[in-house]
């Protein structure tokens, strides 16, 4: 069976790009007096790129691929520029991955709204729909919902009563939104559930007594929420997701959690109720954070860690229960030595 290129089969290319356009988007001068009319037809990894492709290096593990690449244009950090072949045009960058992303968007721009509301969608008469909004077949927009200009709502998504979505958002298939206010330029990925009731009940010898969840979810601008991620609404106050937050797939965020601007939450993380994360926090995959804690700004949590107490600004923690990462490594070494000593005795 012939395997087609990802870009050919699934992602439609917008156009070919000239070297002059790349100079412009990267804001660099043509100091080498290159022929700026050179046309590039796409992007490719260093190992498979051809002279008509743009590629990049941002990880030293792939220096060998850089040395052997046939790419016509390569974006590299200055530390690696001497490793590139002479036949490649080199763009030096302090942030090669970011700059490569800018060039990629020239070939493959992000989805743009068609402005078409499918006749197979269900849009309530009281919903307020902005200009140039795309609503695909079998999407349902409930009473009082507000959708901003240039937003895309894909098939089988439900936008609940009085939900607000900002401009230029991309809400993918099978998403359920209720009790939430979402800022602009958000990407809510397939299967995400936002705004459902949190896990709130009183437990005693008489059994479980459910406590109504009266808050909502407030999401800032430029936020990504991964596939099959759930964000519960608040109980009395709100669950809050700051601006520019990135949330991966299959993450659970409980009621009244607050996540600060530009934080990154990786796949399969669970954050229990009423915990507050500061700005620029990174929580690696499968970590668990207990409830009613304060996690400071710029904290890094190692994958698989269990956070059971507050964490101060700037700390890097690991382990179960999580401690300072250096202490965790010392503990690991000490346990290993104890086991080795026991085995020798």
Residues designated as active site: 255
Cβ contact 185:168 at 8 Å: yes
Cβ contact 126:143 at 8 Å: yes
Q: What does the block give as tokens for 45?
A: 């990894």
Cβ contact 173:167 at 8 Å: no
Compute the Cα dihedral for 102, 107, 109, 115 and give only its sign: positive
- Which phi and psi (to 5°) does residue 164 adopt? -120, 130
Half-sphere exposure of 153 (CA within 13 A, CB side): 36
72 vs 49: CA distance, rounded Å: 8
- Which phi and psi (to 5°) does residue 96 adopt? -60, -35
> What secondary structure, in 3-state letters, does 202-253 show?
EEECCEEEECCCCCCEEECCCCEECCCCEECCCCCCCEEECCCCEECCCCEE
Cβ contact 205:227 at 8 Å: no
Cβ contact 130:115 at 8 Å: no
102 vs 99: CA distance, rounded Å: 5
Closest CA to 302 of 274, 276, 332, 334: 332
Closest CA to 55 of 14, 87, 33, 20: 87
Packing angle between helix 19-26 and helix 96-107, nearest 10 degrees? 130
304 vs 318: CA distance, rounded Å: 8
Q: What does the block give as tokens for 143?
A: 């009473």
Closest CA to 324 of 305, 344, 343, 297: 305
Cβ contact 45:63 at 8 Å: no
């Amino acid at each position: 069976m012939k395997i087609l290129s990802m870009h050919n089969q699934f992602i439609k290319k917008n156009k070919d790009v000239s070297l002059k356009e790349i100079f412009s988007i990267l804001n660099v001068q043509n100091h080498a007096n290159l022929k700026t009319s050179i046309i590039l037809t796409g992007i490719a990894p260093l190992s498979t790129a051809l002279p008509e492709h743009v590629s990049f290096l941002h990880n030293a593990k792939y220096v060998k691929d850089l040395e052997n690449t046939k790419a016509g244009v390569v974006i590299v950090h200055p530390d690696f520029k001497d490793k590139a072949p002479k036949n490649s045009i080199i763009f030096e960058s302090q942030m090669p991955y970011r700059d490569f992303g800018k060039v990629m968007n020239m070939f493959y721009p992000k989805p743009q709204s068609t402005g078409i509301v499918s006749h197979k969608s269900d849009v309530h008469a009281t919903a307020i729909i902005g200009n140039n909004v795309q609503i695909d077949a079998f999407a349902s927009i409930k009473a009082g919902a507000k959708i901003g200009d240039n937003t895309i709502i894909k098939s089988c998504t439900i936008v609940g009563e009085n939900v607000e979505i900002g401009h230029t958002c991309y809400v993918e298939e099978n998403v359920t939104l209720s009790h939430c206010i979402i800022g602009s330029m958000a990407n809510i990925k397939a299967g995400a559930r936002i705004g459902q009731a949190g896990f709130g009940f009183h437990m005693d010898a008489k059994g479980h007594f459910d406590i109504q969840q009266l808050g909502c979810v407030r999401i800032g601008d430029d936020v990504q929420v991964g596939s099959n991620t759930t964000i519960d609404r608040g109980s009395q106050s709100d669950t809050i997701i700051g601006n520019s937050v990135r949330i991966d797939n299959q993450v659970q965020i409980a009621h009244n959690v607050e996540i600060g601007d530009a934080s990154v939450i990786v796949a399969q993380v669970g954050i229990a109720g009423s915990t507050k994360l500061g700005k620029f926090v990174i929580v690696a995959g499968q970590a668990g954070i207990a409830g009613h804690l304060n996690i400071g700004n710029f904290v890094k949590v190692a994958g698989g860690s269990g956070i059971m107490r507050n964490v101060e600004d700037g700390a890097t923690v690991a382990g179960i229960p999580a401690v300072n990462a250096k202490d965790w490594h010392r503990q690991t070494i000490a346990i290993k030595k104890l086991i080795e000593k026991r085995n020798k005795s």
